[in-house]
Amino acid sequence: MRDGLGVFLEVARGGSLSAAARRLGISVSAVSHRLKALETDMGVELFARTTRSINLTAAGSVLLEGIGPAFDEVSAAIEQARTAGHATTGTLKLTIPWSAYKIVIAPHLAEFSSTYPDIRLEFSMNEGMVDIVREGFHAGFRLGDMLADGMIATRLTPELKAAYSTAPAYLDQHGRPDHPQDLLHHRCIRYRFVSANRIADWRFNIDGREVTIDPPTRLVFDSFRAVVRAARDGHGIGWSLRAVVEDHVANGSLETVLDRFTFPHPPFYIFYPEQHRRLEPLRLLIDFLSRRTR
Tens of pLDDT along 171-192?
Answer: 999 999 999 999 999 999 999 9
* The amino acid at 63: L
Are 235 and 187 in contact by the 8 Å Cβ rule? The answer is yes
User: CA 217, CA 97: separation in Å to the nearest integer?
Assistant: 23
Contacts from 36-42 at CB under 8 Å and sequence distance 24+? Answer: 37/4, 38/1, 38/4, 38/5, 38/7, 38/8, 41/1, 41/4
Domain 160-265 has CATH 2.40.40.20: no
- Yes or no: say if 244 and 224 are a contact pair by the CB < 8 Å rule: yes
Count of C-beta atoms within a 10 Å radius of residue 274: 10
**In the CATH hierarchy, which fold is given to the domain comprising 90-158+267-293?**
D-Maltodextrin-Binding Protein; domain 2 (3.40.190)
Buried b (16+ CB within 10 A) or exposed e, 62-82: ebbeeeeeebeeeeeeeeeee
Tally Cβ neighbours within 10 Å of residue 277: 11
The most distant pair of C-alpha atoms in the chain lies apart, rounded to whole Å, by 103
In this structure, the number of other CB atoms found within 10 A of the CB of residue 288 comes to 16
Contacts with 257 (C-beta within 8 Å, 6 or more apart), sequence order: 164, 165, 166, 171, 176, 177, 237
pLDDT of amino acid 77: 61
The secondary structure of residue 70, as a DSSP letter, is: H
Domain-wise residue ranges, the chain: 2-85, 90-158+267-293, 160-265
Question: Sign of dihedral through CA atoms 188, 101, 140, 125?
Answer: positive
Instruction: Report pLDDT for 181.
Output: 96
**What pLDDT sits at residue 156?**
95
Predicted local confidence at residue 39, as pLDDT: 86
Task: Tell whether domain 2-85 is in CATH 1.10.3430.10.
Answer: no
pLDDT one-digit tens code per residue, 229-242: 999 999 999 999 99
Q: How far is CA 165 from CA 107, 151, 291, in A?
A: 22, 34, 30
Q: Which residues of the chain have pLDDT under 70?
A: 1-2, 72, 74-87, 294
User: Does 90-158+267-293 match 2-85 at the fold level?
Assistant: no
